[in-house]
A and B are shown apart, each in its own frame.
Chain A
Amino acid sequence: MRLTKAGAFYITLTLLTGFAAVNTGNNLLFLIVSALLAFMAVSGIFGWINMRGNVLGIELPDEIYAGRDTLVGISLENRKSIMPTFLVRIRIFLESADFTLVNRRGTETDSMVMKFHGRGFKMFEEMEIQSPFPVNFFVRSKRFKLPYRFVVFPAPKLCHETSYFEANKSSSEFFSRYKGLDGDVQKISNYTGNEPLKLIHWRLSAKLGDLKVKEMTAGTSEPLILDIDRLPGINREDALSCGVFLVNRFMRQNRPVGLKKGEVVIKPALSREHRLKLLTELAVYDKN
C-alpha cells in the first residue's frame, strides 16, 4: 500500500483538526475529526473489498517473436456479488492496462502491446494489480506470479544462404495431405460438379460411361530439412533467427520443412502445428 500526495494531505488535515479539537475542547471540531477519521476508515474497507474477488486472465497469440510488438489480451473477472470493481490497473513488466469499472460478476477485457526479450519458455513472473479506489489516498497493490508458460520464438532474420540446407530427395517419404490442383494424382473419384473441367479424366470417363475426375494433392515443392548446426549466422542466436525466417518462408511457399537437431530429425511436414513445433524447437534450442 502506497500513500499518495492527496492521502498525505488528508492525514495532515485530520491531524491539524484533531490537534485544534483537543486543545480547544470544541466538540464540533471533534465531530469534524471523527468524520474525517471515519471516512478514512471506510474508504480503507472499500479499497480492501475492491481488491478482492478479481481474477485475471491473459490471452497470448500463438506466435510471439523476441523483441517484436505483441498484442496481449487481458481480462479481469469480478467475482464479487456486492459491488463492482473500480479503477484497477494491471501491470505486467513495464506495460499496464486500466479497468475503470468491472460489473458485479462481470468480466472486462483490454489489451496491451508488449515486447518480450530473449527466446525460450517464459512466465509472467512480475505481475501487479493495483487500485487507488475509492479516493486515491492510498494505492493498494498486490504482486503475484501467473503460472502461465509461453514460448517466445527467436526474432526472424532475413537470410539467403541455402548451401547448408540438406534436402531430402526421397519424395516418397513425403506427400501433402491436402487436395490441390498441381500435385500428384492421389485417386480417381466421381465428378460432383464442383471440380474444374481440367481435372476430368476423359479417357476413363468414356470407358466407364460416367464422369471421373482426378483427385490431385496440393502442389508441393521439394521437402527440406534444416540442420540447426549448419544454419548461417554470426552466432547461435543469429543462426536461430535465420532458421525461424526460413521455416516461415518455406512453409509459406508450401514447402514441407523438417529440422535436424544433432542426431534428432524432425520429419518435414506442412501444417501450422508443425510450423509452431519447429519454431518452438528453435526457441528452446540449447535452453534448459
Chain B
Amino acid sequence: MIKISSLLIVLAYTISFLGVAPVFLHIDMIPRLFFAACFVAGVVLDRKDRFHVHGLPATLISIAFFLFYASSISKDNLIIPAVNILVILLSIRLLGRKTARNHLQVLVLSLFALAGSSLLSQDMSFIFYLVPLMLCTAILLVLSAFFTYGAKQSISLADLKKILSVSLIMPAVSIPILMLFFFILPRTQYPLWNFLNSAGQKVAGFSESVEPGSAARVGAVKTVVFRVQSPRLAADELYWRGIVLNSIQDNIWVRSKKPLDENSYVNRGKEIKQIIFPEPNTSPFIILLNIPKRVSGIRTIQDPDFVFRRKDSQTSRQQLESVAVLTDVIAVKGKIDRGAYLEIPARISGRVISLGKQISSKAENDMEKVSVLKEYFVSQKFSYTTGNLPRGADPVDEFMFARKAGNCEFFASSFAVLLRVMGIPSRLVGGYYGGVYNDLGEYYVVTEDMAHVWVEAYLDGKGWLKIDPSAFSANFTQTGALRTSDIYSKLQLISDSMNYFWNLAIINYNLEKQFTLAKKTHGMLKDVDFTIAYKILLFLSVTIPGVVTIMYGYRRLKRSREEILVRAFIKKVKQKYPTIETNTATSLQTLADTINEPLVRKFADIYCAAVYRDRKLSDSECKSLRKIVSKL
C-alpha cells in the first residue's frame, strides 16, 4: 500500500521547484538561499513529521519579508520585488505541515511565480516548466481529492496506476482545448500594464558610439539580437544597418544631428523584402538590411542617412516588415554639410596626417583617392582580431603603424579619418555583418558577436559609397557570415529554430493576428474552393445527415402509435428511476409492481387493457397516456 500523503508531499515539492526554477536566476540572493534552505529543511521536517513551522511564527516571517521587499517596489522595479515576495511566501509554506490547504497554497504560489517569470523572460524554456507543472498539478489535485474525500488514506499500487492514468489523460486532453482558448481569449490593442513586460537588455555588441582603443579585447557574445525571415543572400550582402556615426568628439565617433539636413535617396536596385523579429532591447535604433528603404509594423522615424528609430520603446516582442535595396550607394540631391563630415579628431598623429596627404597627392580625384587608400590598406596586410587590441594615447596610430592588427572599429575609424584628412567626407555605419541562415525556418539569425562597423565615403556626383575596410584585412573571411558547421552548431540551429517558431506562434500572437486569423477563417468559409475534395466533403456532409434523418424518420414512421408511446414512457421512467432495469421487453405490469407509483400503474392499466385485448388504443386513451408521460 502507498500512502497518498507521501505522494502529495513529493508532488508539492516538485511543483514548488518548477514554479521557482524559471525565476531563480532573476531574484535576489536572499530569496534564492532562503528557498534552497526551506526546500531542504521542509524535506527533513516532513520525513520526521514534526517541528513544522506554521501559525504565528510563519505569519511573522512572511510579514517581515513582505514589508522588506514591498518597500523596494516602484514603477520601474515592480516585478523582481513581487517575485521575491512570492518565493519567500512559497518557501515558508514548504516548512509547514502538508495539509490539503497547504498543498493548494504551494500550488497557487508556484503558479504565480511561474506567471511572474513570464514578465522577466519570454524564453521558450517557459513551456518546459509549464507542461510538467500542469501534469503535477493534475495529479496533485486528483490525489488530494482522494485524500480529503475518500475514506482511504493509503492506496494499492494497482489502484494508484488507474488513478494516475486518468490524472495524466486529463492534461493530455486539455492540450487542444488549451490551444483553442489561447487563440480565442480576448486581447487588447494597448494593454494597460504593458510596462510590466520585460524591456530586454541593452544590446551589448551594438554601440551608439565608437572609440577604438577603449578596450583591450571585444567579447564574442552569442546572444541573439534579431532574426530575419528572408531569402538567402550572398555573404557580402549581409550588412545590417543600425546607426550612422557622423561626428568625432574627443576621438570618439558619435551621432550628431548637425549634418543630418540632407536630401538623400536610394537608387533603384534589387529589392529584398524581409520580416524582422528583434529581441526585446532598449536601443531606439532599428537594425535593418543595408540599405533600408521602408519599414512597417511599428511606428518609426526615418533620418536622411537611412537610420530608422522607434517612436515608442520596445516593451514586448515585435515583428516588422522591411524593404531593403541591395546597393552600396545612397544618392544625395543637393549639397551635404561637408564641413561637419570633414572634421578630424583633436588628437591625431602627424604620421596619419602625412599618410593622408601622401595618398592624396597620388590621385587626381576623390574616386581615385579612395582606390589608392584601399590599395594601401590591402598592401599593409592588416590582420583582423578581437583580442589584444591596440591601446594607448593614439590607438589609431598604433594600429596603422605599429600593431597592424585590430577589429572593425580600428579599420573603419582609421579609414574614415584618413578619408577626412584627404578631404573626402566620411562617416561610420554601425550595425552587424553576417548571419547564420537557418534552412529549417528559412531565416537569418544575427548574434551580438556579429556587431560591425564600416565606412561611407561621400563622392561628389555619386553619393555616399559603402566601404568596408575590414574586408581589406588578410583574414576577413574568418568573420561575418562564414561560420563553422559542426554538430554543436547544428544543434544550436535546431534549438534556435524552435525558439523562432515559438516567438512566431506564441509570443508574437496579438490582437492583429487574432483578427487576421478570424478573417482567414471567415474567408475560407466564404470563398470555398470547389475542388473535387471539397465537393466530396460537401456531398458527404449533406448526404450522411440526410440519410440518417431519413432512416430515423422511416423507423419512426414504421412505429405504431402504441410503440412510440411505450418508448417515451420507458425513457421517462429510466430518467426518473435510473436504477430500475427497464426496456421495451419488460412487462409494464411488472414495472408497475416494482416501482409502485400511481402514474406508472395507471399507464400500465390503460395500455394493457387495450393492447393485450388485441385492440388499438383509442384517441382518448392515447391522450391520457401522453399526459401521464409528460407528468412523469
Binding site for B on A (CB under 8 A): 6, 9, 13, 17-18, 20-35, 37-39, 41-43, 45-46, 55-57, 83-84, 86-87, 89, 98, 100-101, 103, 123, 132-137, 142, 144-147, 149
Contact = CB atoms under 8 A, between A and B. Distances in A.
B612 interface: no
Contacts of B181: 33-34, 37-38
Contacts of A86: 146, 163, 166
Given A26-B316, A134-B166, A33 B185 contact: yes
Contacts of A26: 118-119, 122, 191, 196-197, 316
A23 B185 CA distance: 12
Contacts of B114: 32
Interface in B100-152: 100, 104, 108, 111, 114-115, 118-119, 122, 126-127, 130, 134, 137-138, 141-142, 144-146, 148-152
Given A17-B111, A29-B115, A132-B145, A39 B185 contact: no
A18 B193 CA distance: 13
Contacts of A29: 115, 118-119
Interface in B495-517: 506-510
A25 B191 contact: yes
A98 B146 CA distance: 11
Contacts of A38: 174-175, 177-178, 180-181
Contacts of B127: 31
B241 to A, nearest CB: 30
B162 A13 contact: no
Given A25-B188, A134-B141, A147 B578 contact: no
B160 to A, nearest CB: 10
Contacts of A142: 578
B595 A34 contact: no
A86 B576 CA distance: 23
Given A30-B185, A39-B171, A46-B166, A100 B146 contact: yes
Nearest to B505: A27
A139 B163 CA distance: 18
Contacts of B152: 100
B569 to A, nearest CB: 15
Given A28-B122, A100-B152, A87 B115 contact: no
Contacts of B194: 24-25
B188 A22 contact: yes
A38 B131 CA distance: 13
A31 B506 contact: yes
B150 to A, nearest CB: 5
A136 B141 contact: yes
A103 B181 CA distance: 33
A31 B197 contact: no
Given A24-B194, A28-B126, A147 B595 contact: yes
11 contacts: A17-B111, A21-B185, A25-B187, A27-B506, A33-B181, A39-B170, A42-B171, A43-B141, A46-B170, A83-B166, A133-B142
A134 B167 contact: yes
A4 to B, nearest CB: 9
Contacts of A17: 111, 115
A274 to B, nearest CB: 23
B478 to A, nearest CB: 39
Nearest to B117: A28
Given A37-B181, A149-B596, 6 more contacts: A24-B191, A26-B191, A45-B173, A87-B146, A136-B149, A144-B577
B579 interface: yes
B159 interface: yes
A134 B145 contact: yes
Contact of B173 (A42, A84, A137): A42
Nearest to A97: B151
Contacts of B163: 86, 101
Interface string B170-207: 11011101111110011110011110110000000000
B580 interface: yes
Contacts of A6: 100, 104, 141, 144
B200 to A, nearest CB: 14
Candidate in A21, A24, A56 with the most chain B CB atoms within 10 angstroms: A24
Contacts of A22: 185-188, 191
A104 to B, nearest CB: 9
B263 interface: no
Contacts of A39: 134, 137-138, 170-171, 174
B594 interface: yes
B579 A30 contact: no
Contact of A100 (B130, B134, B150, B171): B150
Given A134-B142, A147-B596, A20 B115 contact: yes
Given A9-B108, A39-B137, A24 B149 contact: no
Nearest to B316: A25
B375 interface: no
Candidate in B145, B148, B191 with the most chain A CB atoms within 10 angstroms: B145
Given A25-B191, A55-B578, A87 B597 contact: no
Nearest to A13: B108
B185 A34 contact: yes
B576 A145 contact: yes
B578 A144 contact: yes
Contacts of A98: 150-151
Nearest to A39: B174
A144 B145 CA distance: 25
Interface string B71-112: 000000000000000000000000000001000100010010
Contacts of A37: 177-178, 181
B104 A9 contact: yes
Nearest to A23: B193
